[in-house]
Structure 1
């Protein structure tokens, strides 16, 4: 079964002010990240505003990604809906298109299932497809946590192959890693500031939104670590931190798109009700990009 590893950027979905997909912008983001050395691309995640896309748009994003990646790296797709039924529908859409290596499923949001309900939810999704499934926990956004006990049990399901942990809780991520040792199960950091920590503890890498903007730096954390260059890996993690922290300069996920626009890639705008960054915070973001030699690098 496929095992996720490395640095996988959670790509933005470029859109215009009317909410239409900017297809060439998506192709630009794909090329930019792959040229930067990432180990996969992930579309239709929360950074990709899956919650604001209709079924036709989701299908088109997947079709363009499969066509344009053309086998260069594995493709991951999000299927993060609220109900089990809708998660299955999006998972089967991804499977029907072909060329998708794995599907990531965020815990339900707005509703708050207990751990037994979460287990049933993920087992039903896994049973509906031949695709590998990645569990995704983001406690801050959903108020739903995947306990280590639940992760350990679900890791025994044949096609549940990994978990992305965006809790920011290194102790919990460490327990996911420790307690799934010996299983064919990957633990990926969802907090970009904890990629090095994930690797040191025995994890497999990260699904990182900063990989949209600084793919070479993020991929370098993983590549240096795998090469045994631990000090270099840590220094790259330090170098990345200001960019990740800068994502707090605006409402999620506007800063990722604005950063890409400032790099020179047409990422378009963020779906309402999220507005543009303030001029003051935009200047702060520009300075962070200049410090990383990324400002208008693609112009």
Structure 2
């Protein structure tokens, strides 16, 4: 279905409801090629988790051609059942324009703005021109992205580039903003300033109860919701449903169950969030526990130790969640590769 530019904001208000998860690419055991069967397995798992959208992490060691193929596989397997988004994480502004146009051709629904490493972030006018270049490149919906890793405090004390966003939030295809900071003041500023024009979201689970009850936030994403649920026990989805319906006691009861996992994740995420780094193998393992394909990702990536896996699995169990079949020894290859070897 083709959506006109003028309808994009209304389309987003209708469809951006609930949670958007992250889909990481799966690779063959030698890491040389994409594992299409593994990717398709994870698309099915994502849908089973109850998300409204799948967000393809194309910045995880893929060539340009592989980024496009990853999107093609995901859109094909999703078959219109959920939205499909991705980050504009190309090596240049020109590559991001190409990615946008390819993704529109493929059938993706939206893209999240990011900044190429070679793009100077010193001047608000230059950033406005970059955003306008993306806006004019396609009719895809665009999600703005604020994170402290961009170090934009020279543009505003909060780091939120209001002098940039104020000039683009009214554009038809700019539909939402992901505010990935632990700073409540900045998150509140974003809601107060832009909630009437954009769908503001935080991917931080600790912020969900207040953001949804006080600011009527309708979506959260993109993040690894599989960290706190399984398809059979969708605690995050149930939490969001309870908060949206005003069932606060039920929501707090669900939130309280997550304590062991929050305690296990806290020290790890605290090291990563300020620098904007991502522990892909850690995220893959979280998805593996609930039935995802698993498998390691290409370097550069951090290692996940056996002790890490044991602690996370223990926290999973302590929250009353039942891990899927498959031991930690099989995680590295992934379920798809293990099945292929078994058949051979």
Say yes or no: TM over 0.5: yes
Structure 1 residue 101 and structure 2 residue 92: aligned? no
TM-score of the pair, normalised by structure 2: 0.76
- The counterpart of 1:15, out of the listed 27, 49, 55, is 27
Distance across 2 between alignment mates of 1:167 and 1:90: 26
Residues 1:93 and 1:147: Cα distance change in structure 2 (over 3 Å): same
**Partner in structure 2 of residue 231 of structure 1:** 249
Note the C-alpha offset of 1:95: 0.7
- The counterpart of 1:162, out of the listed 161, 166, 176, is 176
**Partner in structure 2 of residue 76 of structure 1:** 85
Q: Is the 8 A contact 2:18 2:220 kept in 1?
A: yes
Alignment deviations for residues 93-126 of structure 1 (CA, whole Å, 9 cap, x no partner)? 101112x221112234475503332222111101
Note the C-alpha offset of 1:238: 4.2
The alignment yields a C-alpha RMSD, in angstroms, of: 2.5
Q: How does 1:1-299 map to 2 (within 5 A)?
A: 1=8, 2-3=11-12, 4-16=16-28, 17-43=30-56, 48-98=57-107, 100-109=108-117, 112-114=120-122, 115-140=124-149, 142-144=150-152, 145-183=159-197, 185-200=198-213, 201-213=215-227, 214=229, 216-240=234-258, 242-243=260-261, 246-247=264-265, 248=268, 252-297=279-324
Distance across 2 between alignment mates of 1:82 and 1:242: 39
Secondary structure, counterpart of 1:228 in structure 2: coil
Note the C-alpha offset of 1:244: 5.4
Secondary structure, counterpart of 1:50 in structure 2: coil
Q: Is the 8 A contact 2:21 2:53 kept in 1?
A: yes
Distance across 1 between alignment mates of 2:224 and 2:320: 15
Distance across 1 between alignment mates of 2:115 and 2:101: 18
Note the C-alpha offset of 1:155: 0.9
**Partner in structure 1 of residue 340 of structure 2:** none
Note the C-alpha offset of 1:33: 2.2
Name stretches of at least 5 consecutive residues in structure 1 with no aligned partner. none
Alignment deviations for residues 74-103 of structure 1 (CA, whole Å, 9 cap, x no partner)? 2222222353212111111101112x2211
Residues 1:150 and 1:243: Cα distance change in structure 2 (over 3 Å): farther
Secondary structure, counterpart of 1:154 in structure 2: coil
Distance across 1 between alignment mates of 2:33 and 2:95: 22
- Alignment: residue pair count: 292
Distance across 2 between alignment mates of 1:102 and 1:195: 23
TM-score of the pair, normalised by structure 1: 0.87
Distance across 2 between alignment mates of 1:32 and 1:291: 23
